[in-house]
Amino acid sequence: MSYIKHTFCALVCFMGLQMLAQSDFEGLGESSFAVNKKVSSHYKYNFALRSRYFFYQDDAFNFENRQIDLVHFSTLNLDYNHSVSLGIQYRFREDIDGGSNELRLTQQFNYTKKEGALRFGHRARIEQRILDELTILRGRYRFAIDSPLNGEKLDIGEGYIVASMEALLSLSDTIKPELDHRTTAQIGWLISESLKLQVGLEYRFEAFNINTEEKLFVLTSAILKI
């Protein structure tokens, strides 16, 4: 288990060093509250409310709201390891920072495998991002790993770690193809049978094939199972 903890710490240090190496970067926070409901052994759904805001931009610390997201996913389990999902998301920006509102449709395939305390996950997504003046088709692939911090089973009151790397490709008729990369490391706690809390960091390289923009996200989330 110690090598998993070391890997997690290395990811956090990597993102911190990347942040300190940049003289002009943006720091953002993203807070979310999600509700998960398991309807049967084959079907479950999820609703989430997310808020994104700046805490550092233009070489200064300041707080500025950016957007609010409403998200829904329905998931069908094909077997123990495979599932497919459909998602719909609406992003509110126009009345917050003047950006375009967005309707997003998502199709997802997920594969997980458990080996001892470790769980590995492969996730592929296709998204249609419908904005005011253009539509963007985006493909995403994420590899994730998670594990309890103590033993092979997560018990109430104990912590766990989640780490992932994700590649994204965005295509549109009016803009050049765009490549993004995200590295995420989070630590969570099982507060009760129905509640988890997570905090972590995500470092993004956006449009690195055109003109790289680097952003650090501070993530906080609460996940309620009903």
Q: Identify the pLDDT of residue 152.
A: 87
Kindly tell me if the per-residue pLDDT of 5 is higher than 80: no
Instruction: Give the pLDDT of residue 7.
Output: 52
Q: How confident is the model at residue 33 (pLDDT cuts 50, 70, 90)?
A: very high
What pLDDT does 15 receive? 52
In terms of average pLDDT, the best of 7-11, 168-172, 210-214 is 168-172
Rounded to whole angstroms, the Cα distance separating 148 from 150 reads 5
| pLDDT value, residue 187 | 98
As a whole number, mean pLDDT of residues 61-71 equals 96
pLDDT digits over 34-43, tens only? 999 999 999 9
pLDDT of residue 23: 47
**Mean pLDDT, range 82-109, rounded to an integer:** 97
Backbone angles phi, psi at 10, to 5 degrees: -65, -40
> What is each CA distance from 71 to 3, 89, 97, 183, in whole angstroms?
35, 4, 20, 22
Q: Is 157 left (phi over 0), alpha (psi -120 to 50) or beta?
A: left
Residue 13 has pLDDT above 60, yes or no: no
Contact 53, 69 (CB under 8 A): no
Q: What pLDDT is attached to residue 70? A: 98
Question: pLDDT per residue over 165-210, tens digit each?
Answer: 999 999 999 889 999 999 999 999 999 999 999 999 999 999 999 9
Mean pLDDT, residues 209-220 taken together: 94
- What does the pLDDT look like over 97-123, one tens digit per residue? 999 999 999 999 999 999 999 999 999
What is the three-class DSSP state of 23? coil
Q: What is the pLDDT of residues 132-167, one digit of tens each?
A: 999 999 999 999 999 999 988 999 999 999 999 999
Q: How much is the pLDDT for 90?
A: 98
Q: How confident is the model at residue 58 (pLDDT cuts 50, 70, 90)?
A: confident
Q: Is the pLDDT of residue 22 over 70?
A: no
Distance CA 144, CA 87 (A): 20
